Chain A
Amino acid sequence: MSEPPGAAVSVTEAPPQADTPSPQLAAQRVLPLRRPGRWIATAVVLVLAAQFVHGLATNPFYQWDRFGYWFLRPAVLDGLLITLEVAAYSAVLGLLGGILLALARLSKSPVLRAVSWTYVWALRSIPLIVVLLFLYNFSALYKTLSVGVPFGPAFFSFDESRLATDMVIAVVGLSLNEAAYAAEVVRGGILSVDQGQHEAAAALGLPKGYQFRRIVFPQALRSITPNYVNQLIGLIKSTSLVFYVSLLDLFGTVQSMGSTYPGDIVPLLLVATVWYLILTSAVSVVQFYVERYYARGATRSLPPTPLQKLRAGLTDLRARIRREAAV
């Protein structure tokens, strides 16, 4: 208003009569609200965390030296490799199966819909361990697998015991199970794509396959990714069940080493735990970037990567320190 420009800087000189916006008010910084509750909670959490770490580090029960001995043992790494192989094959086959089942479920053919529904219903009802043991004993039930006319001649036949190695049984079992869950994840993703997208693709006369591959599925992947990764992490842990079809995965190795060296059971379990933690973390990192990739266009700007966040945080902090110093 008519105040001299210098008055805005020195707050003490002429305090404003009422709380109306004035140059004096504008020059004052607002003190942030103090949050004692937050500090108390932080202290409690820190104490608890410190106690937990202290317990982990000092309790002789964990035998960290034995953990160090086992962690990178070739037997453990072989087991880890089998876990990775089974999980990777099953994840890919399960997703492919899930996509086919979801498409069948969403198709106009009542037969395909019924088949897909029945498959999902059955495989979600039967425990994975039962599926695996069934497959394991499959060769006793059916000596050969053959392709041909029912009740008629067979064109090809396979000797089942040669085809079905432990690895194949494990992957087939997990994939069959995974496909049932993936089908629902994929179906949910496809349903989440706006109807207008289907219409626009149809109105442009885009070929059916192109509509799915390039228009609908990439958009569906945005909601499929978090759900499928959830599924995938479950799958990685389910691979521990392949121990029951005599495949020595990470858990199987740890289990059998534990029976050979009973004194090392706890460090061996820790080895398995840490490896599973590492696998899940790796999957989560991949998930972040996959989600970020499929967020293109869905949000106006992409979410920042951790590195970008760190840099922005540092810049903020520096600016804040400079501001504090200036006042």
Chain B
Amino acid sequence: MSTEVLTAEVLKNVAATVEVRDVHKWYGAHRVLNGVDLTVRPGEVTVILGPSGSGKSTLLRVINHLEKPEIGHVSVNGELIGVRRQGDRREMGVPPAEGWGRLKELSERAILTQRSRIGFVFQNFNLFPHLTVLDNVAAAPVATGKLSRAKAQELARELLVRVGLGDRTGAYPRQLSGGQQQRVAIARALALRPGVILFDEPTSALDPELVGEVLAVIKDLATSGTTLVIVTHEIGFAREIADRVVFIDGGRIVEQGPPSEVLDRPRHERTRDFLSKVL
């Protein structure tokens, strides 16, 4: 009975808005992001496509502040990520120009709290090899003080059933196939009930026959109304689940729109060129 309550709660994660404003990022002299603007509406599934080195992964990592942008801001559900405003006096009637106050870097602890509301799934899974599958999923809610250990394990079991791994809770990650590991990683991201989940090429490290099981889990999330931002090379999958496809090249968004437009009738030469190579 208590498990049913949990399921309801798991599904209840409030879908978040993600806003990326004029983000620039350099690695040394190399400019990776060159003024990216992106708005992801609550519950929307956004797929980011682009050639390798185009800045897709960096954009994703900027959203949860694994990378700090040199210029520009990211906000999730209206809350700036990695920075805070000090002396915001707009509500006191001071005009925006002076009233917005100064931007201050957030403390590491505050950034970690913000990250716990943003799920991230890595290309290489990055599961914790020394913890069992169950502990991998249960670790974050316990460590961040959101759930007791018992509750967290109950939730973890629940989530593992949801990704089809209810029978492997006691296994260690390296005893699982790549596809199973990635499904555990998705369950781990879900355990914090994030408002948005970012996927960084979730199927690129998998054998072809294992891609399907991971995509099925992501599809399940997409239909349950979670905000998803997915970097992938699976064009067919993008067409199937994306509300919006964003094509990035050279650190800029070249074009974006519903898959029927961007994938089937691309307006830009570079998009056409890219699609002809991957399709």
Instruction: Identify the interface centre among A207, A218, A298: most chain B CB within 10 Å of its CB.
Output: A207
Whether a CB of chain B sits under 8 angstroms from the CB of A196 is: yes
Cβ 8 A contact of B114, one of A200, A201, A205, A206? A205
Whether a CB of chain A sits under 8 angstroms from the CB of B244 is: no
| CB <8 Å contact, A207 and B129 | no
Residues of B within 8 A of A210 (CB): 143
Shortest beta-carbon distance, B243 to chain A, in Å? Answer: 24
Bound-state CA distance A88–B66 (Å) is: 41
Shortest beta-carbon distance, B181 to chain A, in Å? Answer: 12
Whether a CB of chain A sits under 8 angstroms from the CB of B131 is: yes
Bound-state CA distance A152–B149 (Å) is: 51
Whether a CB of chain B sits under 8 angstroms from the CB of A153 is: no
Residues of B within 8 A of A201 (CB): 128
Shortest beta-carbon distance, A86 to chain B, in Å? Answer: 33
- Residues 209-229 (chain A) with a chain B CB within 8 angstroms: 210, 214-215, 218-219
Bound-state CA distance A186–B174 (Å) is: 25
Residues of B within 8 A of A299 (CB): 174
Residues of A within 8 A of B64 (CB): 203
Shortest beta-carbon distance, A225 to chain B, in Å? Answer: 13
Bound-state CA distance A127–B131 (Å) is: 42
Cβ 8 A contact of B122, one of A196, A205, A207? A196
Whether a CB of chain B sits under 8 angstroms from the CB of A297 is: yes
Bound-state CA distance A205–B112 (Å) is: 4
Bound-state CA distance A197–B189 (Å) is: 14
- Residues 155-212 (chain A) with a chain B CB within 8 angstroms: 194, 196-197, 199-208, 210
How would residues 121 to 149 of chain B score, 1 for a CB under 8 Å from any chain A CB and 0 otherwise? 01010111111100000011001100000
Bound-state CA distance A298–B131 (Å) is: 10
Residues of B within 8 A of A294 (CB): 130
| CB <8 Å contact, A206 and B128 | no
Cβ 8 A contact of A203, one of B66, B127, B128, B131? B66
- Contacts A204-B120, A297-B129 aside, 12 further interface pairs with beta carbons under 8 A come to A200-B120, A200-B127, A202-B112, A203-B64, A203-B66, A204-B188, A204-B192, A205-B116, A206-B140, A206-B143, A207-B109, A294-B130
25 A-B interface contacts by CB (under 8 A): A196-B122, A196-B124, A197-B128, A201-B128, A202-B112, A203-B66, A203-B118, A204-B116, A204-B140, A204-B192, A205-B114, A205-B116, A205-B117, A205-B144, A206-B143, A207-B143, A210-B143, A214-B139, A218-B130, A294-B130, A297-B130, A297-B131, A297-B174, A298-B129, A298-B130
